[in-house]
Structure 1
Amino acid sequence: MSDALQGPLGLFFSALISSTLLPGGSEVMLAWLVSEADYSAWLLWSSATAGNVLGSMLTWGMGYWIAARYPLKALDRPQHQRARQWLERYGPLGLLLAWLPIIGDPLCLVAGWLRIGFVASLVMITLGKGLRYAVVIGLFG
Structure 2
Amino acid sequence: MELGPAWMEWGLLGLFLACFLAATILPFSSEAVLLGMAAMGGEPMTLLLVATTANTLGGLTNYGIGRWIPSERLAEPSGIAPEKAERWKGFARRYGSWAALLCWLPVVGDPIALALGLVRSSFIPTAVLMALGKAARYAALLWLSKPMLAT
- Shorter chain as denominator, the TM-score bin is 0.7 to 0.9
Report the residue type matching 1:102 in the other structure.
V
Counting only pairs closer than 5 Å after superposition, residues 44-59 of structure 1 correspond to structure 2 as 44-59=47-62
Letter in 1 for 2:140: V
Q: Which residue of 1 aligns with 2:65?
A: 62
Q: Assess, with a 3 A threshold, how the Cα gap between structure 1 residues 3 and 28 changes in structure 2: closer, same or farther.
A: closer
| Counterparts of 1:11 and 1:28, CA distance in 2 | 10
What TM-score, normalized to structure 2? 0.81
Given candidates 103, 106, 112, the residue that maps to 1:107 is 112
Instruction: Spell out, residue by residue over 1:74-99, the C-alpha distance to the aligned partner (whole angstroms, 9 max, x if none).
Output: 97162x33322222211111110000
Partner of 2:149: none
How high is the sequence identity, in percent, across the aligned residues?
33
Cα distance in 2 for partners of 1:3, 1:95 equals 28
More displaced stretch, 83-92 vs 43-52:
83-92
Where do 4+ consecutive residues of structure 1 move more than 2 Å? 1-4, 80-83
1:93 corresponds to which of 90, 98, 115: 98
| RMSD (CA atoms) | 2.4
Paired position in structure 2 for 1:35: 39
1:127 to 118, 132, 135: 132
Letter in 1 for 2:26: L
For residues 56-107 of structure 1, the C-alpha deviation after alignment (integer angstroms, 9 at most, x for no partner) is 111101101113x749x997162x3332222221111111000011111111
Paired residues of 1:35 and 1:140 also in contact (CA < 8 A): no
Q: How does 1:7-22 map to 2 (within 5 A)?
A: 7-22=11-26
1:40 deviates by 0.8
Q: Which runs of 5+ in 1 are unaligned?
A: none
CA spacing shift, 1:125–1:88, aligned 2, 3 Å? same
How many residue pairs match? The answer is: 137
Displacement of 1:24 in angstroms is: 1.1
Structure 2 regions of 5+ residues with no counterpart?
Answer: 1-5, 147-151
Partners of 1:12 and 1:77 in 2: how far apart?
35
Q: Whose RCO is larger (CA < 8 A, sep 6+)? A: 1
Aligned 8 A contact 2:7 2:18 in 1 = no
Counterpart CA distance in 2 for 1:27 and 1:2 is: 12
